[in-house]
């Protein structure tokens, strides 16, 4: 994501020439697969609206005077204008024959909001990494809520947390039916813990060491201007780089699957909190006992049988077979790639966060009422 060095999005830009406005703001947005859009704004003396706007970049635009129309559409807008309203203002001002090539009005809106600090980039945050720590699965799920709320409240920096756990478990999505997803009798026989998370998506079958799971907790401003579909590959672009480092060429298959040429590797899920925090987490298969998974997950039987896989298949091991590396080694590569990309520093869970997560397990995530809230 390109950004002018030394000029964080949303912060006043130093005057470069005598007489230049002291309240200039600068924002950039690189369209995925497209062009760079830059928006330079001047604020009115009360900093409530835009007194001057200049849109620029390496995009293509016809006719030439359409640029004047775009700048006029931004001038006078209140600083807190929503992305959709910014885009509509631009579209309304454009000539009927205007052609925006490599960008669109929504890209302009995103750069506009980044200039004002309403949308942010990875580099606008000081990231932390929480290395894997073996915890009960219900506590891992509760920590997703706790840490996302802590980030939203400004009590903790945005964070990447790697999971580890000690028991066999099924983690079902927030809106899944418990009875439709899990064979309760088989789960009991297999001593499998069943918990429900706060994000949507499908069930995760998790035995110690059989998959790689991580959570990102951050302000929603990081995905401001992105559709739900676009936010998934955006938030996991660093993961694709890390997988490439270990010999796996992976990409996103909409909406939320991570795949390689050899098939599905994992999936992601998200939750946006009313407080402004956002949770994005991913589980990737390392070496799963497919037969045991099918015994416990009802939906697993249907999905796997639909792909022509029989009970003779004992393991699903995309990361193990495609890399030849130990799970811990792959997790180290993921962590180091994130640290290098975003300047993240290593941190630890606080006692207060663990205590709050334990309270949530007792009152929510460990209760029958929550786990069976969709029977």
16: confidence class by pLDDT, cuts 50, 70, 90: very low
Q: What is the mean pLDDT of residues 40-62?
A: 96
On the 0-12 / 13-18 / 19+ scale of CB atoms within 10 A, 126 is: exposed
The overall average pLDDT reported for the chain is: 91
Dist CA 100 CA 62 (whole Å): 7
pLDDT of 311 > 50? The answer is no
Dist CA 294 CA 309 (whole Å): 11
Judged by average pLDDT, the poorest of 33-37, 73-77, 130-134, 306-310 is: 306-310
Of residues 306 and 106, more confidence is placed in 106
284 with 290: CB under 8 angstroms? Answer: no
Helix (H, G, I), strand (E, B) or coil at 273: coil
156 with 128: CB under 8 angstroms? Answer: yes
Angle between helix 66-74 and helix 83-93 axes, rounded to 10 deg? 140
Give the model confidence (pLDDT) of 95-105 as tens digits: 999 999 999 99
Q: Which residues of 97-118 are buried (b: 16+ CB within 10 A; e: fewer)?
A: ebebebbbbbbbbbbbbbbbbb
Structure tokens at 286: 């390392």
pTM assigned to the model: 0.86
Give the model confidence (pLDDT) of 200-231 as tens digits: 999 999 999 999 999 999 999 999 988 899 99
Q: What is the mean pLDDT of residues 340-357?
A: 98
pLDDT of 107 > 50? The answer is yes
**Whole-number pLDDT of residue 369:** 98
**Whole-number pLDDT of residue 10:** 53
pLDDT of 307 > 50? The answer is no
**Whole-number pLDDT of residue 314:** 64
Dist CA 296 CA 232 (whole Å): 28
Dist CA 212 CA 193 (whole Å): 18
Give the model confidence (pLDDT) of 229-268 as tens digits: 999 999 999 999 999 999 999 999 999 999 999 899 999 9
pLDDT of 316 > 50? The answer is yes
Dist CA 96 CA 66 (whole Å): 10
**Whole-number pLDDT of residue 225:** 86
Dist CA 187 CA 193 (whole Å): 7
């Amino acid at each position: 994501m390109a950004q002018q060095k030394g000029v964080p999005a949303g912060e006043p830009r130093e005057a470069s020439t005598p007489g230049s406005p002291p309240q200039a703001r600068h924002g950039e947005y690189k369209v995925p697969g497209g062009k760079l859009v830059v928006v330079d704004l001047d604020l009115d003396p009360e900093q409530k609206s835009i007194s001057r706007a200049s849109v620029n970049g390496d995009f293509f635009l016809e006719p030439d005077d359409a640029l004047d129309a775009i700048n006029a559409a931004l001038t006078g807008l209140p600083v807190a204008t929503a992305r959709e309203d910014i885009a509509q203002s631009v579209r309304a001002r454009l000539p009927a024959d205007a052609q925006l090539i490599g960008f669109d009005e929504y890209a302009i809106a995103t750069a506009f909001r980044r200039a004002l600090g309403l949308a942010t980039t990875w580099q606008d945050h000081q990231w932390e990494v929480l290395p894997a720590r073996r915890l009960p699965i219900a506590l891992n799920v509760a920590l997703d809520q706790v840490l996302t709320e802590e980030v939203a409240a400004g009590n903790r920096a945005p964070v990447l947390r790697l999971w580890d756990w000690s028991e066999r478990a099924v983690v079902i999505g927030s809106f899944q039916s418990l009875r439709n997803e899990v064979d309760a009798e088989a789960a009991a026989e297999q001593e499998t813990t069943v918990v429900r998370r706060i994000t949507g998506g499908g069930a995760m079958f998790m035995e110690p060491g059989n998959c790689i799971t991580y959570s990102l907790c951050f302000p929603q401003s990081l995905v401001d201007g992105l559709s739900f579909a676009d936010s998934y590959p955006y938030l996991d672009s660093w993961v694709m780089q890390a997988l490439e480092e270990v010999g796996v060429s992976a990409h996103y298959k909409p909406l939320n699957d991570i795949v390689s040429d050899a098939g599905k590797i994992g999936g992601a899920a998200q939750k946006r909190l009313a407080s402004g925090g956002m949770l994005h987490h991913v589980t990737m298969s390392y070496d799963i006992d497919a037969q045991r998974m099918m015994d416990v997950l009802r939906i697993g039987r249907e999905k796997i049988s639909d792909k022509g896989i029989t009970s003779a298949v004992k393991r699903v091991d995309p990361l193990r077979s495609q890399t030849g590396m130990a799970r811990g080694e792959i997790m180290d590569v993921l962590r180091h790639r994130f640290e290098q990309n975003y300047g993240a520093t290593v941190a630890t869970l606080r006692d207060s966060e663990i205590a709050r997560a334990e309270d949530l397990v007792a009152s929510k995530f460990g209760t029958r009422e929550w786990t069976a809230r969709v029977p």
